[in-house]
Amino acid sequence: MDEVQEASQEKQMMKKSNPIVIIIVLAVLVLAGGYYVMNRTGTPVETQQTESDQMVTEETPQITGDSSATDDTQMTASDGEATVVEVEGGAFYFKPNEIRVKRGDTVRIVFTNAGGSHDFVIDELGIKTKLTQSGESAEVEFVADTAGEYEFYCSVADHRAKGMVGTLIVE
């Protein structure tokens, strides 16, 4: 009789544990799926952009007057009146993220949006472009009359906190 009671108790335990096992298995599957999505795209699901917004064109060389500059440092060219600096902004980056100009230069920033909604801001110099969408450009011109280092950033939502920043160096 004891064996029958033990078998009956074992069946009741299995019936009680089935919902728990199912919940655990579902939780593991959801977590694994979330991990796969995060690692496949590199960004959380809520910040993903459409495939067309994420397309990046082949890099083209920047206008240069200094062949020793790196990809992250803007090289400038003068158009006779202003030093023209081309800046690309995309999913939480500026390229270049460092710009060097000479004190006293008239500087024209040509900001091109490579994807999403972005702008270009330097608070200390009172510079702010219009909000741009994918493929749009905006320009701003100013005189770099005070030497120093100035942070530029995108003021949209949390883009600055996500690393969409750079430095303007006036030498």
Give the pTM.
Answer: 0.57
Q: What is the SS3 assignment for 69? A: coil
pLDDT band at 93 (very low <50, low <70, confident <90, very high): very high
- pLDDT tens for residues 14-28? 666 577 777 887 777
**pLDDT above 50 for 69:** no
Dist CA 126 CA 103 (whole Å) = 17
